[in-house]
Chains A and B, each alone.
Chain A
Amino acid sequence: MDKIIEALNKGIENAGVERRKVCLVTDIAYSPDVVDFLGIDLFHTSRGRAIPYATGMKLANPKLLPVVLIGDIATLGGNHFVHSCRRNMDIVVICVNDFVYREVAGETAPGDFSPISFSPYLSFEKPLNIPHMARSCGCVNVSRWTALHTDELANSISQALHRKGLSLIDVISSAPDLLEFYYKNSELRNDEDTLNVEIEKDRKIVVGNFFNEEKPSFIEAYNEQHTKILGDNFVKIEVE
């Protein structure tokens, strides 16, 4: 997790955005030091609800830059992710694919397939292909890195902070002792079809910038539609 925060810090720095406008919205707990280290606001919300929380923030104050840092979007709150991709909501979503459940209590996580206490006889369920899920729901910017790809991750974050619409960054992360393993067993394949980036036991973890497309974001579409119908009676969402 420290590695991701480090990359986030770098990403914000490189993006050159006003730091205090970045709001970190999470559904998992961090130490308060993160706030001081990053110099931003942190909203630790209920499990799975970070995405709609950030949505409300963005619409109430479009000048904010909500960065959602969540655990496995494939479980709690998956539906929020699906629909935010569809809307192309103007937020950044960093999925911490860190099999966090294992660290807490050892439940089965949809991204995981290792032996853990909730499935002591090994998990036989297939992990979810999160980048592909994002892509098929209409997400315009999809990438994946392991937590040790600090520079690449920071790049994806700073690029996402400048983009309109929803960006998904899937970060393969886990207990510190496994980070090195994941990093070494990853394979860079930019522009790879997200269908082929599934995490499987005897395959390398595919990382890279998979997909990037221009499409009107929620706020752009909102402004356009209402201007068309209401004309001068419409009070626009001002982002800048």
Chain B
Amino acid sequence: MKADPRDVLTGTYYIDGDIAIAYGALAAGCKFLGGYPITPSTAAAEAFARKAPQVGARFIQIEDELGAIASVLGASWAGQKSMTITSGPGYSLMMENIGLGAATETPFVIVNIQRGGPSTGVPTSTGQADMMQSKWGSNGDYEVIALAPDSPQEGFDFTVKAFNLAERYRVPVMLMADECVGHMTEKVVIPDASEIELETRRFYKGKKEEYKPFKRDKSLVPPMVKAGDGYKLYITGLSHDESGHPILDKKLLPDLDKAGVTNKKSTNRFLVEKIRKNRDEIIELREENLEDADVIVVSYGIISRVAYRAVDMARREGLKVGMLRLITVWPFPEDRIAELAKRIKGFVVTEINYGQIVFEVDRCSHGKTNIILVPHGGGSVHDPDDIYDAIKKTATEKKRYQGVLEYTTSLERSVFGGSMAEKYGK
């Protein structure tokens, strides 16, 4: 389906990432935003709030993030595309109902404009340290999808993409932007509505009395209905069968693992299966110069722009460096990393944290190559020279190491002393 022209603010703009994300949500047909203001995401909610009443979308500032996310789930079941926008501390508060959303297979989008953490952290500066929280933040087993934009333009594009993925897989989708992307002002082109492809929610078409909210076909994603349409829905965060009715009998539990995908009793297994089995369709990567690469830089979000510069510097010197940018961070491209690990000297992973995605890269490399982390505590982005140094060192390294090696950046050396060599290569 094409986007509704009334929702799309077609034109060329000079706006920040927050605003671009809000416009992306409107273009995707989002009709509900329940939010609570938090720096550096506030401008996004503001932009949405300004336009919403004019296109029949609703914005409400709920009393806190716990409630904001709950309202988003309710709005989704009422039949509308819905979202919330937040940052670190608010994101933490939302974890409880992200779990409920995953368990009840409710489609919605959460935008996290990441800031420095932990806790209140650095509200006005950047960070990428909520990546693992996205995947593991709520209790129990479930899978989500997370995207990482690196510019205001991608803020717009990926928000549309996030809604499409949420609707297709009935899953919470996280748009993991950061303060830099949120507050950076750049050119953003919003295309004509006819050029924006939207995924529509798959509604159930069969007999009313036969409907089961969690009964699925081969795609593993069950069709949905709207609240109030007379389907006598029973939607609960308790473990449930395909009719939605809770399973509280302990005796049923051992059957769950044995039965696997074909399990008729509990739908828990499908919460992970529907994403894992469809991951080839979901995962999107940007790859450059991987064919001849000895070293591959892995990055995502804002830091990939810094990494591109470092890769460029290294290639000019004749170093065989490739770039692997994660568009979808979750689900993680396990197969691709494993494949590449077999034939390169090392991965250089850059992220604005002290090591999160790097451990995924390490896990998927199965010990076949060196893994070098170029960390950053947050507050700003890396100096490209640091990434360049790490690339160079990795390209010339003869020794094979076990586990992740941490490269000490020039910033950290200036604060804590020591030299790069001290830490690298122990």
Residues of chain A touching chain B, judged by Cβ–Cβ distance below 8 Å, are: 20-23, 25, 29, 32, 35-36, 39-46, 48-61, 63-64, 66, 79-80, 82-83, 226, 230, 233-235, 237
Contact = CB atoms under 8 A, between A and B. Distances in A.
B34 interface: yes
Contacts of B361: none
Contacts of B56: 235
Interface string B77-88: 111101000000
Interface stretch (B58-66, B125-133, B149-157, B343-351): B58-66
Q: Please report whether the interface of chain B is mostly helix, strand, loop or mixed according to DSSP.
A: mixed
Interface residues of B, number: 48
B12 interface: no
B231 A41 contact: yes
B226 interface: yes
Contacts, number: 153
A234 B77 CA distance: 25
Nearest to A44: B236
B230 A52 contact: no
A90 B70 CA distance: 16
B60 A59 contact: yes
Contacts of A226: 53
Given A56-B34, A61-B78, A61-B226, A41 B73 contact: no
B227 A61 contact: yes
A233 B58 CA distance: 14
Contacts of B76: 56, 60
Contacts of B381: none
A55 B71 contact: yes
B96 to A, nearest CB: 5
A64 B78 contact: yes
A42 B237 CA distance: 12
A53 B227 contact: no
Nearest to B55: A235
A80 B56 CA distance: 25
Closest 4 CB pairs of A and B: A56-B74, A56-B71, A52-B67, A60-B75
Nearest to B66: A49
B238 interface: yes
B209 to A, nearest CB: 11
